Amino acid sequence: KLYNWYAVSDPRNVCPTGWHVPIDEEWNTLVGYLDPAYDPGAIGVQSATAGGKMRSTGTQYWFSPNAGATNESGFSGLPGGDRYDNGFIDLGLWGSWWSASEAGAGLAWSRFLRHDEVDIYRSNKFKMGGFSVRCLRD
């Protein structure tokens, strides 16, 4: 499922009891563990290696090439794409996940993985967009 950020921030919690949507700093902890040379404040490419370590392997979901995908982190990221006012886009090309952190008026932090790169991107996106949610145990 894809959620807008308003569902992510809703006090009823999109995640099950005992879980939460990670804040930006928790995403940074994961990326920093996978790539100590990452840039925690980047807008754009945050790490040139962590993305491949987070993507599921194979091409049953990701478009080919699923470049450098090892899933050595166990994150098993899938390419759910995203949703904007023009419909669903990037299915098979991108995996897009919200953080629970705001990034300014109408914006929130998110992370993206691409099928053809080993990078992970950090971006401030409009809250009305639809992205995947990854829940983290409290």
Positive or negative, the CA dihedral 101, 46, 112, 58 is negative
Predicted local confidence at residue 59, as pLDDT: 79
Which of 14-23, 81-90, 116-125 is least confident? 81-90
The rounded percent of the chain whose pLDDT value lies above 90 is 91
Mean pLDDT of 84-113: 93
Q: CA–CA separation, 73 vs 21, rounded Å?
A: 18
Torsion of CA 6, 11, 18, 95, to 10 degrees: 0
Predicted local confidence at residue 87, as pLDDT: 82
Residue pointed to by tokens 């090439």: 65
Mean pLDDT of 44-64: 95
Predicted local confidence at residue 123, as pLDDT: 97
